[in-house]
A and B are shown apart, each in its own frame.
Chain A
């Protein structure tokens, strides 16, 4: 405590600001060390998370690097209109939505199925090896993952094309055809994340009361029926929570992987909001910061609305919600 702190302490003791106020102040004074511990993380939060939200107002300005945020001229919705009228607008939005829904439609149920399958096995080496191997790809970096995809799908040396040739079929230039892009993106994600995504469901299934299963067996239920009537209902709350969270991320198609998989040939399917923002702002020869910020802000707002809607719908239908 500095001298100034002590002085302000004394002053506050002399002049209590109402009954509630003084009690709160005395609690804050007693726990000043907690605020000290929180100070640095809080400063970081305000600077690196909240200041950019304030800075997002350049979406409504014509930002000039020399002038700073406040001095740059106000242009209202011009940047947003430019985006809505851009010939790329519908393509970028549709690509983003399609990649997201495709990922969600495949990537959401598969970890649940995998968890249900794994929990049917009764311990042992087989179960352990499957679990261990299935978690591993999660730790491969995006860059290496895309490297593997490129090697794997290579038109000359990739095993997929070798197999196609052996079967007497035509080879396919997977990375050069826009039609293939969504499937490559989604199914490589399945390979990488299904096992790890199942962990949470396996954990939930381990909490299911065994007597429920015993009772079901007594009633003559077979395994499939027990999965359907005992296991699946137990997974529902967790699954709904994760689904809601995913809905909020629907416009945030992973920049890294999309960007790395993208090339001039598959661009018509692989240009999504985040890669487009990067291209018009940071990667552009003449960076249009305001335009990029406008698209980014549009993205954040829509994402926020989708999350909100998903939460309300889930609350109504299943009673599960984030807030």
Chain B
């Protein structure tokens, strides 16, 4: 299953010269898509500019696209902002450990459910798929997590979300379409049982789906904030997203680490800078990784699209 999104150029060059209508159409299209590109980039450029500009320039509305002046105080403040780094560390924990649990559980279920000889396969598939259509709701789920004693534990952000049924369906589809029956028959003849077959034959062939699952789950875990909102109240267990929310959205900024900010106006403008800098810092891990992993996301969507 080698997908290459960039190579999707099925349209042959027209041997006939393009008509006038088509040339106008293509011209409009190039310009239109160029505007779309600018529109997509603009907010990102603005946020970076507003984070490194002179605070007073930001406050007086001079920063519209490119930075005005140069000032890294906001980034220094973030460096010394202990809560943000506690959040970062927690989010790394939740992402690494949570994703490990996610991938193992999904592969286990996906492998078993992809096997034609599993008696009751359709029934089990239905049990999983049905939860996409109907669920118990927020309150009963919360009460369950509460009754299990998971409130204010790290496990509350990992165990209740152990499997995403959508990702499981992608995995089942992948195994079904990429592992021929003959492979299993051959392994059987060589004396493999199901578990050996999974460990020695299937897993080495499953790098693409494992990559896709890891990425889907990792992004979900890193961005996740609702579970932490309802299950976690201890400050030292909070993931980054909760800290970001308190600063970016609830305006709870602790400026005690900033010595040189005295006047009220200076504080207000510093907070604007700080927020923009924080948006940049929070997005950096993703943006660095993004170009390398982009194709796996595309691949994941394609696998899912074969049979939704």
| Residues of A bordering B, CB below 8 Å | 24, 27-28, 31, 33-38, 40-42, 44-45, 47-56, 58, 63, 114, 117-123, 126-137, 139-144, 146-148, 150-152, 154, 156-157, 159, 161-163, 165, 191, 195-196, 199-200, 202-206, 208, 210, 213-214, 217, 222-224, 238, 241-242, 245, 248, 255-256, 260, 274, 277-278, 281-282, 289, 292-293, 296-297, 299-300, 303-304, 307, 322
| Interchain CA distance A270-B143 in the complex, whole Å | 26
Q: How far is the CA of A241 from the CA of B307 in the complex (A)?
A: 11
Instruction: Please tell me if the beta carbons of A45 and B128 are within 8 angstroms of each other in the complex.
Output: yes
Q: What residues of B have a CB within 8 angstroms of the CB of A51 in the complex?
A: 136, 140, 144
Partner of B61, one of A137, A165, A214: A165
Expressed in whole angstroms, the Cα–Cα distance for A152 and B219 within the complex equals 24
Q: Quick check: B40 and A147 within 8 Å, CB to CB?
A: no
Task: Evaluate contact between B301 and A203: CB separation under 8 angstroms.
Answer: yes
Complex-state Cα separation, A44 to B104, whole angstroms: 13
A133–B140 touching, CB < 8 Å: no
Q: Is B170 an interface residue (CB 8 A)?
A: no
Contact residues in A for B235 (Cβ distance below 8 Å) = none
Asked whether any CB of chain A lies closer than 8 Å to the CB of B1, the reply is no
A191 and B40: CB pair below 8 A?
yes
Instruction: Enumerate chain B residues within 8 angstroms of A35, measured Cβ to Cβ.
Output: 112, 118
Given A45-B127, A139-B290, the answer on whether A289 and B139 have CB atoms closer than 8 Å is yes
Complex contacts, A119 vs chain B, CB 8 Å? 8, 11
* Inter-chain contact A54/B136, CB cutoff 8 Å: yes
Determine whether the beta carbon of A133 is less than 8 Å from that of B109.
no
Provide the residues of chain B in CB contact with A307, threshold 8 Å: 133
Among A157, A217, A322, find the residue whose CB has the most chain B CB atoms closer than 10 A: A157
The residues of A that contact B113 with a CB separation of less than 8 Å are 38
In the complex, chain B residues whose CB is within 8 Å of the CB of A142: 223, 225, 241
Instruction: Check A282–B279 contact: CB distance below 8 A.
Output: no
With A27-B117, A139-B286, A143-B244 known as contacts, the answer to whether A281 contacts B139 (CB < 8 A) is yes
Q: Which residues of A contact B244 (CB under 8 A)?
A: 141, 143-144, 147
User: Do B58 and A157 touch (CB < 8 A)?
Assistant: yes
Contact of A41 among B5, B19, B26, B105 (CB under 8 A): B105
What separation, in Å, do the CA atoms of A126 and B26 have in the docked complex? 13
- Which listed segment binds A: B29-37, B77-85, B204-212? B29-37
Asked if A33 and B61 sit within 8 Å, CB to CB, the answer is no
Chain B residue nearest in CB terms to A161: B61
Collect the chain B residues with CB atoms within 8 Å of residue A222's CB. Answer: 19, 21-22, 25
Chain B contacts for A203, CB-based, 8 A: 3, 5, 8, 298, 301-302, 305
B97 close to A (CB within 8 Å): no
Whether the Cβ atoms of B8 and A206 lie closer than 8 Å is yes
Chain B contacts of A199 at CB under 8 A? 5, 297-298, 301-302
Please name the 3 residue pairs, one residue from A and one from B, whose CB atoms are nearest each other, closest first: A52-B136, A296-B137, A55-B140
User: For the complex, what is the distance from the CA of A195 to the CA of B6, rounded to whole Å?
Assistant: 14
Q: Does B141 contact A (CB under 8 A)?
A: yes
Shortest distance from the beta carbon of A260 to any chain B beta carbon, whole Å? 6
Residues of B within 8 A of A (CB): 3, 5-14, 16, 19, 21-22, 25-26, 29-30, 32-33, 36-37, 39-41, 43, 46-47, 50, 58-59, 61, 63-65, 105-106, 108-109, 111-113, 115, 117-119, 124, 127-128, 131, 133-144, 159-160, 162-163, 168, 193-195, 198, 219, 222-223, 225-226, 230, 241, 244-245, 248-249, 272, 275-276, 278-279, 282-283, 286-287, 290-291, 294, 297-298, 301-302, 305, 308
Closest to B106 in A: A41
Give the complex CA separation of A98 and B59 in angstroms. Answer: 36
B32 to chain A, nearest CB (A): 7
Query: What residues of A have a CB within 8 angstroms of the CB of B105 in the complex?
Result: 40-41, 44
Tell me which of B40, B50, B138, B241 contacts A278 (CB under 8 A): B138
Q: Complex formed: what's the CA distance from A210 to B12 in Å?
A: 7
A292: chain B residues at CB < 8 Å are 137-139
Q: How far, in whole Å, are A154 and B268 apart by their CA atoms in the complex?
A: 13
Asked if B279 contacts A141 (CB within 8 A), the reply is: no
Decide: A34 near B115, CB < 8 A? Known: A123-B6, A141-B241, A141-B282.
Answer: yes
Counted as pairs of residues, one from A and one from B, with CB atoms less than 8 Å apart, the total is 298
- Looking at chain B's contact residues, the main secondary structure is helix
Give which listed residue, B5, B41, B128, contacts A202 with CB less than 8 A.
B5
Are the C-beta atoms of A53 and B29 separated by less than 8 Å? no
| Contact partners of B241 in chain A: CB under 8 A | 141-143
Distance in Å: Cβ of A195 to nearest Cβ of chain B: 7
Can you list 17 A-B pairs with a CB-CB distance of less than 8 A?
A38-B112, A38-B113, A130-B33, A147-B244, A156-B61, A191-B40, A199-B302, A200-B301, A202-B8, A203-B298, A206-B10, A217-B16, A245-B308, A256-B226, A278-B138, A281-B138, A282-B138
Residue of B nearest to A304 (CB): B134
Per the bound structure, the CA–CA distance linking A151 and B140 in Å amounts to 36
Which of A37, A141, A242 is the one whose CB lies under 8 Å from B195? A37
Known: A44-B105, A296-B137, A304-B134. A31 touches B142 (CB 8 A): no
A129 to B41, CA, bound (A): 11
Docked-complex contact A45 and B163, CB < 8 angstroms: yes
A300 contacts which chain B residues (CB < 8 A)? 134-137
Partner of A28, one of B30, B119, B225, B282: B119
Decide if A282 touches B137 in the complex (CB within 8 Å): no
Residues of B within 8 A of A122 (CB): 9, 11, 13
Cβ contacts under 8 Å, A191 to chain B: 39-40, 43
For the complex formed, measure the closest distance between the CB of A158 and the CB atoms of chain B, giving whole angstroms.
9
Closest Cβ–Cβ distance, residue A49 to chain B (whole Å): 4
In addition to A142-B225, A156-B61, A281-B139, 7 A-B residue pairs with Cβ atoms within 8 Å of each other are: A37-B111, A117-B29, A117-B32, A139-B286, A203-B301, A205-B10, A223-B22
